[in-house]
Amino acid sequence: MCSTMTFSTDESPLPPRFSRYTSATMKTIHRSLFALPLLTTAALGAGAFYGDPPDATHPWAIHDMNRPQPPRVEPGTNGSPPSDAIVLFSGKPEEIEKWISDKNGESTKWVVKDGALQCVPGSGYIRTKEEFADCQLHIEWAAPAKVEGDSQGRGNSGVFLMGAVEVQVLDNYNNPTYPDGFASSIYGINPPAANPLRAPGEWQSYDIVFRRPVFKDGKEVDPGYITVFVNGVLTQDHTPLEGGGGHMKRSSPKPFPEKGPLKIQDHGNPVRFRNIWYRPLPKRFVEGGEYSRMSEEATAKKRAEIAKGIREDAAKLQGNAKMLRLFESLCYAENEDAKHTAMLMLGAFVTDAKNTPDVKIESKKGEILNVTKALRYLTKFKFLPEDIAAKKDLESIVKARDWEKKK
């Protein structure tokens, strides 16, 4: 909670849009808001006219309650997938149907044994029937407990994102090899930053964040990245894909298809896999050619959409709440009708405040302070002219009654 925040009405931390309610109703709302964890931010006061407004590449204000709440995902327990995961293998024999031979697209000869999907050497790679691209992938694997071979010959397999980028699977517990072919290397691209492997025969977990390369009009706008945690330890930190890597040859940037299968390698060792799931990731802001930042065009479009939603909300409200929502909409996009209506309502509000006799003015303190605060914000960020008469009128009422006196 921001320590500089001030509450204007009977110490209520509710945003101004709630100001149409009576004090008793507000107490009820206040209680119910605190009972709902998702609304706690609202209860803490991050309402309209609070943080810095939207700008050319940020469609939302700082601490903007118009911004959508993050979608609820039930986390897994004891290693189970989260609620929105797409499960590719959880240990059931029938899940072999989700995989096919990469060689001929027919049923694979890999087997499900003791809840694990096991490579049958010589049978070839497998791939998912399902195709996807940007994802969070979880996969667990175990090299054979009986140590055979060395370097690239010991417990070798591989997880191929979109069938193209190999995150190496290799028993490197006590087994040196070329570093860019090490377990959790991006094969032929980048060695892992650490070797946190457990002993052969034990289960190892990979948690991978994968972003495919994005090209626009033949030009690379995003090289694609991969991040890997091995047994909870970071080994690849947003490593650029450089075209995807490979064996012996240096790869160079190239466009990827929209989606592809997940492949697992047969490298001649009976490596086992279990608990394989992924979550598709949201799109990146690559419109306009800039990564991780919205283009001005996309921002303007989003701001217009937010403003429209706020005006629609305002249409359902009355009085001050309506007026303040209409003013709020102007912070996202100009709209003559909204501004005209809000200014008319403001004029009526100020006239009423000025004509309210002293004995009754205290009952309007909260509303007057809320509107004053809104006008200060709107003028500070130039959504309204600085010398607007309504602001001066309300500030003189506030000052005359010493309503903002520091305690």
- What residue ranges bind Mg ion (CB under 5 A)? 156, 158, 265, 267
Residues 388, 383: Cα–Cα separation, whole Å: 11
Angle at 379 between CA 375 and CA 381, to 5 degrees: 120
- Taking the CA of residue 368 as centre, how many other CA atoms within 13 Å lie in the half-sphere pointing to its CB? 26
Report the residue number, 34 or 178, with the smaller CB distance to Mg ion. Answer: 178
389-400 and 336-355 helices, crossing angle to 10°: 30
- The least CB distance from residue 160 to Mg ion, in Å, is 9
Residue with the CB atom nearest Mg ion in the bound state: 158
Assess contact for 184 and 236: CB atoms under 8 A. Answer: yes
Q: Cα separation of 93 and 114, whole Å?
A: 9
Q: Between 183 and 326, whose beta carbon lies closer to Mg ion?
A: 183
DSSP 11: T
The CA distance from 325 to 74, in Å, is: 34
**Contact present, 134 and 280 (Cβ < 8 Å):** yes
Say which amino acid occupies 177: T
Question: Between 184 and 265, whose beta carbon lies closer to Mg ion?
Answer: 265
* Amino acid letter for position 328: E
Q: Among candidates 36, 64, 68, which has minimal Cα distance to 51?
A: 64
- Cβ proximity to Mg ion, 158 vs 192, nearer residue: 158
Minimum Å gap between C-beta 113 and Mg ion is 21
Shorter beta-carbon distance to Mg ion: residue 269 or 299: 269
Least gap, CB of 156 to Mg ion (angstroms) = 5
**Least spacing, CB of residue 171 vs Mg ion, in Å:** 11
Least distance from C-beta 147 to Mg ion, angstroms? 17
Question: Quick check: helix, strand or coil at residue 379?
Answer: helix
Q: Determine the Cα–Cα distance for residues 256 and 250; give it in Å rounded to an integer.
A: 17
**How far apart are CB 158 and Mg ion at their closest, in Å?**
3
- Identify which of residues 269 and 372 has a Cβ nearer to Mg ion in the complex: 269
Count Cβ atoms below 10 Å from residue 358 Cβ, excluding itself. 8
Closer Cβ to Mg ion, 244 or 366, answer by number:
244
Apex CA 109: angle with CA 108 and CA 111, to 5°?
A: 105
Minimal distance, residue 74 CB to Mg ion, in Å: 34
**Which is nearer to Mg ion, 64 or 171 (by Cβ)?**
171
Question: Which amino acid is located at 220 in the chain?
Answer: E
Work out how close the CB of 153 gets to Mg ion at its nearest, in angstroms, rounded to a whole number.
11
Short-list 127, 162, 152, 166, CA closest to 251: 166
Strand, helix or coil at 406?
coil
Q: How far is the CB of 170 from Mg ion (least distance, A)?
A: 6
Nearest to 23 by CA among 31, 259, 332: 31
Question: Closer CB to Mg ion, residue 156 or residue 341?
Answer: 156
